[in-house]
Amino acid sequence: MNTAANDKSVNIKGRDFLALKDFSTAEIEYLLALAGELKQKQRSGETFTPLSGKTLAMIFEKPSTRTRVSFEVGMTQLGGHALFLSSNDLQLGRGETIADTARVLSRYVDAIMIRTFAHSKIEELAEYATVPVINGLTDDAHPCQALADLLTIYEIKKKFKGVKLAYVGDGNNVAHSLMIAAAKVGMDFAIACPINYEPKKKMVEEALQIAKQTGASITVTNHPDEAVKDADVIYTDVWTSMGQENESAERLRVFQPFQVNAELVKYAKHDYIFLHCLPAHRGEEVTSDIIDGEHSAVFQQAENRLHAQKAILLSLLGA
């Protein structure tokens, strides 16, 4: 990763941050470099408030710990203000259109972050908003998480080329964004899912097209050992996401062979790192000895949500 955070050739001011496929490799590397610099500033105790007077509206139709806290703290640390809006705080729940909500909020705030269900909702919000819209999570994508994941991998492995990232579990929104992120930076990606739980074909096709340009490889399999073989990074997520609670019993049964445990990680490289976007269900998708073990970087990864999102905010708002 060679793009410095002060590279004037990269300018994403005023853009929406809906999916990583919308950003070039250079732009993603810019955001990662900027996130690293912002992390250093915070660690050194330096006060840096370029977003003074700016306000971020945060819409939550899905609950959150890391997304809410990291965006709110990040905006505060940059000198701005974050406004929490649940479904109960908005007229969306009483029939106001997404378009009208976008138009109104655009006259009050400088950016909108939304954590919601259907990806079409965030696309409609971005279409009618006149301020940047940030995807805090949809059913299809979680780009903020993937950016933090890339930052964590780079901090530890010091490179992307030649690194293999293995994802084991549900082919969900996190998997989609990770796959695209890996392809963008030229990192090899393998995903193992049970039959009928693979990532969406459209997402796989997009990743394959990107990978052709960057030299990455994309592998989709139903065999965890195949995905994890010689992996530098092992990643998993919960088996039952929000909105899927009625499928929980069936998912627990189907996904059991995809648990990340001491037997599975033997297929990885000896210096592999373990990542999880959290919250984790210890004893389900991962055993406690792995997530709490010496190879785990999950809390470094969680912290990096803050720094990655500060980079997004700073870049989109043009400060």
**CATH number (domain holding residue 172):** 3.40.50.1370
Residue 318, pLDDT score: 87
Quick: pLDDT tens for 71-109. Answer: 999 999 999 999 999 888 887 756 889 999 999 999 999
On whether both 45 and 116 belong to a single domain, the answer is yes
Residue 3 reports pLDDT greater than 60: no
On whether both 84 and 152 belong to a single domain, the answer is no
Q: What is the rounded distance in angstroms from the CA atom of residue 294 to the CA atom of residue 28? A: 29
On whether both 99 and 153 belong to a single domain, the answer is no
On whether both 12 and 137 belong to a single domain, the answer is yes
C-beta of residue 112 within 8 angstroms of C-beta of residue 101: no
Residue 164, pLDDT score: 99
On whether both 148 and 281 belong to a single domain, the answer is yes
Q: What is the rounded distance in angstroms from the CA atom of residue 162 to the CA atom of residue 139? A: 30
C-beta of residue 1 within 8 angstroms of C-beta of residue 29: yes
Residue 20 reports pLDDT greater than 60: yes
Residue 21, pLDDT score: 98
Instruction: Output the six-digit token pair for 301.
Output: 């990864």
Residue of 119, 251, 305, 307 marked catalytic: 305
What does each C-alpha distance from 139 to 113, 136, 251, 298 come to in angstroms? 15, 11, 17, 22
Residue of 16, 110, 142, 170 marked catalytic: 142
Strand intervals (E) in the chain: 55-60, 81-86, 111-115, 133-137, 164-168, 188-192, 218-221, 233-236, 273-276
C-beta of residue 268 within 8 angstroms of C-beta of residue 226: no
Tell me, yes or no, if 225 is annotated catalytic: no
On whether both 40 and 172 belong to a single domain, the answer is no
Q: How confident is the model at residue 8 (pLDDT cuts 50, 70, 90)?
A: low
Q: What's the average model confidence in pLDDT over 305-312?
A: 98
C-beta of residue 35 within 8 angstroms of C-beta of residue 50: no
Q: Is 203 annotated as a binding residue?
A: no
What does each C-alpha distance from 86 to 105, 107, 186 come to in angstroms? 14, 19, 38
Domain that holds residue 125: 4-141+304-317
On whether both 205 and 252 belong to a single domain, the answer is yes
Count up the domains in the chain and report the number. 2
Q: How confident is the model at residue 245 (pLDDT cuts 50, 70, 90)?
A: confident
Residue of 145, 259, 301, 309 marked catalytic: 145
Q: Does the predicted model carry a pTM greater than 0.85? A: yes
Go through the chain and tell me how many residues it has.
319
On whether both 172 and 296 belong to a single domain, the answer is yes
Residue 75, pLDDT score: 98
Q: Is 66 annotated as a binding residue?
A: yes
Tell me, yes or no, if 305 is annotated catalytic: yes
Q: Is 144 annotated as a binding residue?
A: yes
Tell me, yes or no, if 115 is annotated catalytic: yes
Q: Is 241 annotated as a binding residue?
A: yes
On whether both 131 and 18 belong to a single domain, the answer is yes
Q: How confident is the model at residue 2 (pLDDT cuts 50, 70, 90)?
A: low
Strand intervals (E) in 193-272: 218-221, 233-236
Q: What's the average model confidence in pLDDT over 45-49?
A: 96
On whether both 74 and 200 belong to a single domain, the answer is no
Q: What's the average model confidence in pLDDT over 229-254?
A: 93
Residue carrying structure tokens 């940059």: 78
On whether both 147 and 79 belong to a single domain, the answer is no
Q: Is 115 annotated as a binding residue?
A: yes
On whether both 248 and 121 belong to a single domain, the answer is no
Residue 206, pLDDT score: 98
